[in-house]
Every structure is written in C-alpha cells, then in structure tokens.
Structure 1
C-alpha cells in the first residue's frame, strides 16, 4: 500500500511539538554553556523558512497588523511574569537602582540613539526619534537569563532585581516618546498642533491612568485570589491561568481607557503579588505565565529568523553596522554607568547592570505600532536597523550572559550550580496556611 503524502497542517503540528519540546528542554541543556535559547530559536527560524517547501515569508512590512499583535501579546505576558517573580516589596528607597535606570539611563539612551540616527545615519529627525524610542527599553521577554528567579527562590540580588524591574517599567515609560514621534509625523502631515495633547494625554493621562488602572485590577484579583471567602478563593483552584486572566483584563481595560497597558500589566502583577507575598500560588501563576511566554517568544524569534533569511537586513550598509555596534557597545553601557554614578555597589555589579540592556521583542512592537499609526517614511530601513540591533544584542548578550552571571554569583559567594528549589522548606507550608487563615 502506498502511503499518501502528509498534509502540510500535520507537518506543522509535528514541527510545533518538536519545537515546544526543545523550548522546555534547552534551558536545562544550555544552563552552563555560553549560548541562549533565543539564539537557537532564531537559527531554527532561519533554517525552517529557508527550506524549499516553505512558501511563507514572515516579512513584518507585509504583515504589519500580525506583527504588532503577536509581539504585543508576548510582551504583556512577559510583564506579568516579571512582576510576579519580584520578591522585593515596592518601596521607594529599595527600588533606587530602578529609578536611576529609568530616570537617567533611558532618557540618555533615547537622546543618544536619536542623535546617531539623525546626524550619523542621516535619518529624518522624526524617524531618528522613533528609532531612539524603540531601542531604548530593556526587553522583558529576552532578559530571562539576567532576571530574578521564580518567586521565593532567593535569586534576587541587586543586578537581577534592577534589570527585572527596569524591564517591567520602562516598556510603559518608553511609550510617550513613541507617541511623540507619531504626533510629530501626524502634525507634519496635517499641520495640527501637537504639544498640548502630547503633554496632557500621552504623559499625564496615559501614565496616570495606566498606573491607577493596573493597581485597581491587581487589587481586585488579589482580593479574589487570597481574601474572599475561603471556599471561592481563586488560589484554591491551583490554576496558574488566573495570571493570564489578570494580564488580559488589565491590559484590555487600560487600553479601552486609552492609557498605557504595558505599564498597567506590570503594576497589576506587583499589586497581585503584594496581596499575599509568601503564598505558594504565586509560584504556580509565575510558572504558567513563564511557559506561555516561552512559547510566544519561540514563535516571534522563529519568525524573526525567517525574516532575516528572507532579506530583512538587505537595506543596510557598513555604516549602519557600525552605528548598531555603537548603540550596543557604547550607548547603553555608558548611559547605564552614568545613571549608577554615586550608587554604592561594586564596580562589577554596575558594569553588569549597564551592559545587559537587552533589545528585542519590545522594540519590534513599538516599531510596528508606530508604522501602523503614522505616515513615517523608510519603514523598510527602520525594520532592518531595529532587526540588526536586536540580532546583535541577542547574539552578544546570549553568548556572554552565562559566564558573566556565573562570575557575578561566585564573587557574591553564591554557587551558580546549586539547584533552585522554589518550594517552601519544612514548616513553611504550615506558616503559609496560618497566614492565609488570618487573611480570611
């Protein structure tokens, strides 16, 4: 009997199963190697979309809406996971490293990249500003290897905390500059005034409502999860899907109010975690969001690898490669070190914080969003340059993160090879139950 050729759909399902298995297994295999899961995903994407039988070409310019929505979803899931994993309570003084990176490093990075785009590369200043806004934020999706560990795992030194909290908040705070580029582009096309609306709406309203809305949804889910009647508490479901529900509700309601959903999701995660910081259910919610995030990251990076294989970087020349290298090797590290001047910490910690400002999926979203909402010329070049910076960042940071973080752990007296056990130790379960009872 002659076997019929398998349907493409069946082949895609089979390939998806293999890739998801790799996403689950590769972090263990790569734990001690100078290699990262994102690098593997990009390489696989380039190989898959180069096969003769694969006709799909994941060009972000040909699929702008899909690019925006897929990257958007992955980022908001990553923001929820980042907020849930932070053990440190939200206190102004204890978050000083975060405020330094946000208030000093990010604006300096935006200004420097805008200058590189306008004076060095020769872009129109609106496009240069958009480039700076897209490439300034540290990516919450690709920074997993330099972030804190799961809730209650004890992996929360100043470096990991700083990079996690920065990645959580700067995605929302970069949006005013993306919106500024959009406002300037629309004003250039229509001649309408823009400054007042940008200041009052894009800064005051969207940041204020994003923060308040995120807190409100986080408080509501915290109450439903830990403080309502014992029989109906969401924590008793043991279902980490609750975190995804909180993510989507927070983002959706905030966007309906025309505010910053990215900021709201991270604030929701912090507020939800604060409601009962020691509860075991925090681990279950974090683990589920991390699994969803990894699958989403795999999908985006496979498509990114396919876009690279399809000629995404074709518009670039050597001057662009040098400019991208300057952004990775000079702009972020120098801006980071300036922001940390006077902060009492060892030099190796400051250098690690300044160096590991990883760029990636968040930058893809900002660029897709801006090009879908404003008449900005040179979309093919902007995609090529952002793609090059993201690729260089993923390769550089992926190859260096394991040895650098292992050296940092050893310098601080930690064993980087010690297994992580986020489950409560003897007696902690009973204490958690007693605390839960007091909340009833």
Structure 2
C-alpha cells in the first residue's frame, strides 16, 4: 500500500512542478492522469492492482464533483450571468431535453439489446456535462465572458436536473411502467430532487456564511481553518441533500452561488485553498479511472459503442444546443462552441455506477458505452480546449 501511495504522491509532485507548462499543452491534466493510471495499472506496469469497489469510486467521484460545483459556482460572475441568462436557460430548458430525446432515439436504433427505457437511461446519463472537465474552458479568459458563464451555469445544473429523470427511467425499466400513476410519480420525484436540493443548498449556505461572518468578527476563526470552511460547507450541502433524497449536485451548485454572492470580493481568497483540494481529488479520480475502469473495460468495446460515443459528443449534443440558441443573437461560431464543449465525465461515471447497482438488465452494457464516451470526451475536449478557446477569443476581439 505504501509503495503505491509513494508512487502516486511523487507523480503528483512532479506534475505540480510543470502544471503551468502543461496547461498550455494539448494534453490536459485529466488526460495525463488517465494515461498514467492506465500505464501503472494491472495491464501494463502492474504497480497498482486496480482493486477498487464501485461504491468507493462513486464516493470519490461524488465528493470531487460536489466540491468543484461549489467552487465554480462561487467564482461565477453573477453580473454577467444576469445579463446573459438566456444562454444557460435555453440550453437547460430546451437543449437538455433535446439531447436526452435525440440520445434515446439514437440508442434505440443502434442497440437492439436495449429496451426503449434503457435507451432513455443511456441518453440521460450522457446528457449531463462535467464541470470538472469543462474547467479549462470556463476559466480561460480568452473565451468571451457570456460564453464562459453560460457553460459554467449549464454544467453546474444539468447533472442535477438529470438525476431525477434518470431515476424515473430506471424505475420504468425495472417494471414501474406497468403501474398506474407512473407519470405523476416521476414528476413528484423530479420536484422532490430539485426542491430539496435548492432548499438545502441555499439554507445551509445562508446559515454557514452567517456563522462564518459572526465568528470572524469576533476573531474566533484562524486563517488556516477559514480555508477548511469552504470544503466542509460544499460537502455538507451535497451530503445533506443526498441523505434527504434530494439532488446533492443542485445543492452544491446553488450553495456555491449564494456563497460567492455573500462573500463578494473575499470569495477568491476563501476558495483558493479549496480549489487546490478539488483539483487534487479530480486528478486522483482520473488516475483511478485509468487504472481500474479503462484497463478493465477496453476489451468489451464494440464498433457500435464507438459510433454512439462519437455521435453523443457531436450531433446528439450539438444539434439540440444549436437549435435551442436560435434567436439569442449568438453567432454560429458561439453556438457551435457551446454545443461542442459539453464534456462527459464524473457525473456520467456516477450515473453508470447507480444503473449497475440498481440491477437494470443491460446496466453493464450501458456502463461500457458510458465509459467509452467519457474516455473519448476526455481526449477530444482536453486536446481542443486551448486551441478553440484562443480561436473564440480572436473572433470576439
């Protein structure tokens, strides 16, 4: 165990030394860590045996995603978002349902083994985009502000919106569709997830920021422990909402928005240490993904899976988003950019684990498609992030 820990720690240390240089390179941090995990995993060097349970992987991915959602939301420029809210609102209310429908129809046509409900499960799992993988674009100042904030807001909320929809389709796939009242039960679940997530995220953050300010004014909070408050509050928002059967993703993101609004100019200083923690957790997750998931899955990939994965990253995502932005005044280049940068990542991995654990008949098959899509997204979006961001900056200038 200590040898593996030493190898990973030294690799992280070496990466941190050249991280600034690598951020400008075609290979992003997640690509580097997935590749390193694969090479050091059981199929190549065998320095890591790749033994990790689905529960452990889900916990790691959940905590990482919750922290990143909270931090990204806290750093959001609400003034720009208020002026340009039509972009994320169109993408969430029109584009997201379109992606789910088109993904479902494509899966139903391409995979005979899947029932319609299972195809809908796959379409929903891959409609969620990853705030962690999209960070390279969202934080790139070359990208116009309204595009960055639009993508940040969309990626922060769409995975939370997909959770109740996913559970509805899982229930239908497992036989719930034969019972009366299925539609009403599904709507109830959607509103429950969203309502509890919003209430917990806003309520807990409001109480937390008040307590932090009150204690700070009395000199009770040290500089070191002040940094810990953000990590603890982010995870608390997520975990409390999940324990109450709400959406932890919605809670983390909305909590982060309120935290940034309350903290104002102190936000950057407060979340700086948490950003380092979030980045480390994200890279650890991608390392584990490369060592365990990719290493054990690539032999099961088929050409049909590859076709669907490519379509999911292009037509299935880009066409509905492009159409949803009609009439917003955005240029064709901006619409294509917004459609392309919908990377699949941590949320889809968590969804895949949920589907397998729920016992969906073709759950493992669906999981393989998700793994392949996430891997292709990791490479394609990682390589294209910096060049396309610079191109968008030139067009805007």
Which residue of structure 1 lines up, in the alignment, with residue 274 of structure 2? Answer: 289
Give the structure-2-normalised TM-score: 0.91
Q: 8 Å contact 2:23–2:29 — kept in the other structure?
A: no
Is 219-228 or 43-52 further displaced after alignment? 219-228
Which residue of structure 1 lines up, in the alignment, with residue 104 of structure 2? Answer: 114
SS in 1 for 2:334: helix
SS in 2 for 1:313: helix
> In 2, Cα distance between the equivalents of 1:298 and 1:91?
29
Q: For the structure 1 residues 155 and 116, does the alpha-carbon distance in structure 2 shift closer, same or farther, using more than 3 Å as the test? A: closer
> In 2, Cα distance between the equivalents of 1:410 and 1:93?
22
Q: CA deviation at 1:214?
A: 0.9
Is 1:124 the counterpart of 2:130? The answer is no
> In 1, Cα distance between the equivalents of 2:145 and 2:17?
26
SS in 1 for 2:375: helix
Structure 1 residue aligned with 2:187, among 191, 194, 199?
199
Q: CA deviation at 1:319?
A: 2.1
Q: CA deviation at 1:164?
A: 0.9
Q: For the structure 1 residues 364 and 228, does the alpha-carbon distance in structure 2 shift closer, same or farther, using more than 3 Å as the test? A: same
Is 1:396 the counterpart of 2:387? The answer is no
SS in 2 for 1:314: helix
Is 1:15 the counterpart of 2:7? The answer is yes
Is 1:306 the counterpart of 2:296? The answer is no
Q: For the structure 1 residues 67 and 23, does the alpha-carbon distance in structure 2 shift closer, same or farther, using more than 3 Å as the test? A: same
Q: 8 Å contact 1:224–1:233 — kept in the other structure?
A: no
Q: 8 Å contact 1:312–1:383 — kept in the other structure?
A: no
Give the helix-richer structure, 1 or 2: 2
Which residue of structure 2 lines up, in the alignment, with residue 364 of structure 1? Answer: 349
Q: For the structure 1 residues 109 and 154, does the alpha-carbon distance in structure 2 shift closer, same or farther, using more than 3 Å as the test? A: closer
Structure 2 residue aligned with 1:269, among 240, 256, 261?
256
> In 1, Cα distance between the equivalents of 2:218 and 2:167?
46
Post-superposition CA distance 1:412-436 (Å, at most 9, x none): 33xxxxxxxxxxxxxxxxxxxxxxx
Post-superposition CA distance 1:166-190 (Å, at most 9, x none): 1111111111211112221343599
- 1:20-419 counterparts in 2 under 5 A? 20-49=12-41, 50-54=43-47, 56-58=49-51, 63-89=53-79, 94-122=84-112, 123-148=114-139, 157-188=145-176, 194-200=182-188, 202-226=189-213, 230-232=217-219, 239-279=226-266, 282-307=267-292, 310-372=295-357, 374-413=358-397
Q: 8 Å contact 1:214–1:265 — kept in the other structure?
A: yes
Q: For the structure 1 residues 214 and 87, does the alpha-carbon distance in structure 2 shift closer, same or farther, using more than 3 Å as the test? A: same
SS in 1 for 2:314: helix
Q: CA deviation at 1:132?
A: 1.1
> In 2, Cα distance between the equivalents of 1:207 and 1:24?
38
Q: CA deviation at 1:11?
A: 1.7
> In 1, Cα distance between the equivalents of 2:378 and 2:2?
31
Q: For the structure 1 residues 53 and 253, does the alpha-carbon distance in structure 2 shift closer, same or farther, using more than 3 Å as the test? A: closer
Post-superposition CA distance 1:171-228 (Å, at most 9, x none): 111112111122213435996853332212x112221121122111121122123356
* Larger Cα-atom Rg: 1
Show structure 2 runs of 5+ residues with no match: none
Give the structure-1-normalised TM-score: 0.83
Is 103-112 or 29-38 further displaced after alignment? 29-38
Is 169-178 or 253-262 further displaced after alignment? 253-262
Show structure 1 runs of 5+ residues with no match: 1-8, 414-440
